[in-house]
Amino acid sequence: MRDNSGKPVKVLAVVNRKGGVGKTTTSVNLAHGLSRKLLLKIRPKDLDKVQDVGRLYHYRGQHYYIGGHVLLIDFDPQGHCARGLGIDPGDADLGEVLLGRQLLNQAVISADRADEGFPRPNLWLLPASDNLELAKEGLRNQAYALMRSSGNHRDGLLMVLEHRLKSAMERFHYVILDCPPALDAFSQAVYQYADAAIVPVKPDYFSMAGTGQHIADIHDAQLRGIDINIHTIVPTFNVKRQRLDQEMVKALRQKHGDKVIDSIPRSQAVAEAPAYQQTIFEYDPRYKNPATRAYQRLVDRVYDG
């Protein structure tokens, strides 16, 4: 996948300063969907052709080749990504990593639940907790000290992110950032750290107004030299029979063109999947629900383009 400059895109921030638009749901399903695309089924007769046997994964008699790994980083202090995936974060904590009190490889945990019937061998999570909010003051102090010691006038918080998360760029094929509904200096640094933004938007009046301002903020950030592009706008919670929803989606397309993809319909399956600690692709493996197919289209768009 490449951004407008033609360079490879690895880091995608799922952002909207308006809450309740489906950011975490989109982040979790996008990360899992991408990991599935990178998990390739191998026929038994082709096993001897695999040069790197360390990338082989076996599950219920099937053989797979792991073509890459995906990291989901939870930047929301509520820590819902771990809950939605059914993962116990233990002591792993993004705030501790950013403060330098935990190494990244100590805090990144596997999302694989093959023993429970949910194989995710190449999906990983860097979880968050309330500690992230408490860590921000320490991060600001670190950022200021880093700027002074380096003589660099770049954003100090961005330099902290780049330093603490550097090894993720070498290990993972995609990094998905689940961002909180906030617009502060820390959030701005996260935007700069990302290559592009995925913007979920609920097609109601107040959410549309908040999203419009948020997109304007991103454009303003670009004018100030922050290198982030809007990759995709994702209408969520769409009810096809409600005229207002369709008018709002139409208005989005008129303003932002092909950056707006097909809507994710409001669905009980989308609401129930995280309650059962599953992604939409695990809850509806046969793709019977339109929302599952819609999320797959988002995954394909990110993967292919």
Strands 229-235 and 196-201: parallel
Residue-by-residue pLDDT tens, the chain, 305 positions: 544 444 455 899 998 877 888 999 999 999 999 999 999 999 999 999 888 988 999 999 999 999 999 999 999 999 999 999 999 999 999 999 999 999 999 999 999 999 999 999 999 999 999 888 888 888 888 888 877 776 665 678 888 899 899 989 889 999 999 998 876 778 888 888 999 999 998 876 555 555 555 566 655 554 444 456 889 999 998 887 777 778 888 888 888 899 999 899 999 999 999 999 999 999 999 999 999 999 999 999 999 86
pLDDT confidence of residue 212: 57
What is the C-alpha R_g of the chain? 19
| DSSP helix/strand/coil, 175 | strand
* HSE toward the beta carbon, residue 91, CA cutoff 13 A: 5
> Using an 8 Å Cβ cutoff, are 69 and 35 in contact?
yes
Find residue 70's DSSP bridge partners: 123, 174
- Determine which helix (DSSP H) or strand (DSSP E) holds 208, and give its type and residue range: helix 205-223
pLDDT confidence of residue 236: 92
Nearest alpha-carbon partner for 124 in 67, 185, 81: 81
For residue 204, report the phi and psi dihedrals to the nearest 5 degrees.
-125, 170
Q: How far apart are CA 198 and CA 196, in angstroms?
A: 7
pLDDT confidence of residue 153: 56
Find residue 177's DSSP bridge partners: 13, 73
Nearest alpha-carbon partner for 272 in 286, 284, 264: 284
pLDDT confidence of residue 74: 97
Joined tokens for residue 292: 């599952």
pLDDT confidence of residue 5: 43
pLDDT confidence of residue 3: 45
- pTM: predicted TM-score of the whole model, two decimal places: 0.89
Structural domains of the chain, ranges and CATH numbers in brackets: 11-304 (3.40.50.300)
pLDDT confidence of residue 146: 74
Alpha-carbon separation of residue 301 from 30, 99, 194, 218 (angstroms): 10, 35, 18, 21
Provide the angle, in degrees to the nearest 10, between the axes of the packed helices 268-275 and 290-304. 80
